[in-house]
Amino acid sequence: MASSDPAAARAVRIHPSDNVATLLDDARPGIVQILGAERLNVTAVEPVAAGHKIALHAVAKGDPVLKYGFPIGHAVRALNAGEWVHLHNLASNYDERSSSLDVDTGAPTDTAHAYR
């Protein structure tokens, strides 16, 4: 059941099979209301910026991360419910370099010498 706390951050689960939701508001550690076909809550364990993904439940290392009902990548380590899901813990199944990109800027970190 979803919280009715008006101060809680909100996120949207796009497809019922998704194991991540996208934040509509900046989230601080605490309750996040998950909107979608099934309304529920997840407890953010760290700050997560609006537009970023939060894990809805634990995801084992190597397991698919699902958004839009499709795998958008796989967990490079075990993820806990409420964790920020981004470049530091998610790798694309289509771009092998994705997990080596800078977590803040998205810039390649394996070709830094090319930019000097």
Tell me, what's the pLDDT at 107? 65
Q: Where is pLDDT greater, at 51 or 101?
A: 51
Q: How far is CA 88 from CA 74, 75, 78, 105, in A?
A: 11, 9, 12, 12
Task: Say if residue 7's pLDDT is above 80.
Answer: no
pLDDT digits (tens, 9 = 90+) for 41-87: 999 999 999 999 999 999 999 999 999 999 999 999 999 999 999 98
Which pTM does this prediction carry? 0.80
In contact, 11 and 24? CB cutoff 8 Å: yes
**All domains in the chain, ordered by first residue:** 9-111 (2.30.130.110)
